Amino acid sequence: MDESGTDTETVNGAEDQAHATDEVERGEEREGQESDEQHEYETEEISYREALRRALHEELARDERVFLIGEEIGIFEGSYKVTAGLLDDFGTKRIREAPISEEGFVGLATGAAMTGLRPVVEIMTINFILMAMDQVVNHTAKLQYMFSGQVGCPMVIRTPNGAGSQLTAQHSQNLEGWFAHVPGLKVVTPATPADAKGLLKAAIRDDDPVLVVESLPSYNLKGEVSQDPDYLTPMGQAKVTREGDDITLIAHSMAAQRSLQVAAQLEEDEISAEVIDLRSLRPLDMETVARSLAKTNRALCVDEGWATYGVSAELCARVQDACFDDLDAPIGRVGMAEVPMPYAKNLENATLPHAKKIRAAALAVLGEETDPEEWRAG
């Protein structure tokens, strides 16, 4: 177990973590700014997909214990091309093609993590992780605790959620809340290219099992990303991506991007909306949320997934407890219509938590009624 020459690497890992902590502190000092700027490194505009690819490339190069395993991640370069070129650069030993066997290879990766490696598993989409649910929830999440910390589990499962391309009921889900429910797991949900790189790298360097839920509809989204090979986004820290005074839109993953669009529209209605991108669901940064609500006094939880028993349900419970005296209105929430995703384009549009629906929901929190005919169709 401990023969894999890992001691030195662990020390390096600790240094990296220390580095991340520095960044946390600096981030706090410059709150509200685009705070992830590095002194020596330039930023570059790249896609969310490319940001993920670079994170994987850099971490594979940095730590030989890291290996990737998943379906079609080698010759095929990944179902969504996130692993493009990695097989050429790192070979078949580090880029492990797996059969269509999620329970098997998630369990194998967990066993490898228990014995000194640092696996990064790709599950083609979050819908297929259900095949591995027993491994993730009953094994990966619990093993450190069950054995009182005698066995570690430094592993990452990365998988995209999302909907909107007529992929229908079995391929259009946002199930990250299921995993954020489980002690022992960490769940991060990057919404931007910068965080796609920073959170994936932080997850790979973390000593716990981390589910990195990527946004499939955002893979082509472009943004400025640092070229720093040690660029990390700290877990458990939300980001205020737009400041405002009248209402706070709390969101994660693609909903955080969409909330920014809605906030811009609301400005035309002379409503000043603040937007919080949670970035991390477990740990969850409630301090940033509470601070925002002390200012805006109104909240709308925006989620790509179903609201019932979902991430927004958790947020509502915590906000009413933490911010009861600050609230001027009931907390609103908006998510995907609670139906399995239909195929027909018009029905799919109506099911998604699209901008018109989010805007109407925000207006409702502010006490303004809207005509459902204006937003129902999407």
Partner 1 sequence: MARRKQAKGSEDGRGESGGSEAEPEDRDEPSDGQRQEPGGAAGGHIAPDHFEDAGSPVGPESQISPSADRLRELYETMVLIRLFEEETERQYKKARIGGYCHLSSGQEAVAVGGLEPLGQDDILVSAYRCHHLALARGISPESVMAELFGRADGCAGGRGGSMHLADPTRGYLGGWGIVAGHVPLATGAAFTFAQTDQPHAVLCELGEGAVNEGAWHEALNLAGLLQLPVVYLVENNIYGMGTSVHMASAEPEVWKRVGAFAMHAERIDGQDLEAVMEASDRLLRRAREERLPALLECITYRYRGHSVADAGTAYRTEEEIEEWKGNDPISRFGQILRDRGIVESDEELDEVRERMDARVQEAVEFAENADPPELDSLARHVYGDEHAGEQFARMTPGSPFGERELVLEKELGDG
Catalytic positions, written as ranges: 102, 171
Total site size for partner 1, rule CB under 8 A: 70
Residues forming beta bridges with residue 121, ordered by sequence position: 69, 157
39 interacts with partner 1 by CB under 8 A: no
CB 138 within 8 A of CB 184: no
Which helix (DSSP H) or strand (DSSP E) does residue 177 occupy?
A: helix 176-180
Identity of residue 50: E
Q: Which of 214, 285, 303, 348 binds partner 1 (CB under 8 A)?
A: 285
Q: How, if at all, do strands 95-97 and 273-277 pair?
A: unpaired
CA–CA separation, 109 and 146 (whole Å): 18
Binding segment for partner 1 (CB under 8 A), chosen from 42-50, 235-243, 300-308, 358-366, is 235-243
Residues forming beta bridges with residue 299, ordered by sequence position: 248
* 112 token code pair: 């490898």
Q: Which of 19, 37, 57, 107 binds partner 1 (CB under 8 A)?
A: 107
Q: Under rule CB under 8 A, which residues in 249-278 are in contact with partner 1?
A: none
- φ, ψ at 336 (rounded to 5°): -70, 140
CB of 17 to partner 1, least distance (A): 5
Q: Under rule CB under 8 A, which residues in 155-194 are in contact with partner 1?
A: 183-184, 186
Rg of the chain taking only CA atoms, in angstroms: 20
CB of 53 to partner 1, least distance (A): 22
- φ, ψ at 259 (rounded to 5°): -65, -35
- φ, ψ at 342 (rounded to 5°): -80, 165
325 interacts with partner 1 by CB under 8 A: no
CB closer to partner 1 out of 249 and 262: 249
101 interacts with partner 1 by CB under 8 A: yes
Q: Under rule CB under 8 A, which residues in 141-160 are in contact with partner 1?
A: 143-154
CB closer to partner 1 out of 18 and 61: 18
Residues forming beta bridges with residue 301, ordered by sequence position: 250, 333
CA–CA separation, 15 and 209 (whole Å): 19
320 interacts with partner 1 by CB under 8 A: yes
CB of 141 to partner 1, least distance (A): 9
Residues that bind partner 1 (CB under 8 A): 1, 3-4, 14, 17, 20-21, 24, 67, 93, 98-99, 101, 103-117, 134-135, 138-139, 143-154, 183-184, 186, 206-208, 234-238, 283-290, 317-323
